């Protein structure tokens, strides 16, 4: 994958992490947070972070 594509992918994944972190924060502030949604979003955050890490290694290498 080209360097520019990798950078764009990393940027997009970081944006998704931020959006999901905001969702988790907002849900946790509710009187009755939906733990299922929170767990789902946290799993997605972990997946995004793993993808970012892989893309960063490709970018460095």
Q: What is the pLDDT of residues 18-29, one digit of tens each?
A: 999 999 999 999
* pLDDT tens digits, one per residue of 25-47: 999 999 999 999 999 999 999 99
Both tokens of 57, joined, read 């290694």
Plot region of 30 (φ>0 → left; ψ -120 to 50 → alpha; else → beta): beta
- The more confident residue out of 24 and 60 is 24
In the chain, where the domains are located:
3-60
């Amino acid at each position: 994958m080209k360097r520019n594509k990798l950078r764009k992918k990393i940027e997009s994944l970081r944006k998704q992490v931020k959006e999901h972190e905001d969702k988790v924060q907002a849900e946790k502030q509710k009187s009755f947070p939906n733990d299922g949604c929170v767990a789902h979003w946290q799993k997605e955050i972990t997946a995004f972070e793993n993808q970012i890490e892989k893309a960063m290694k490709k970018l460095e290498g």
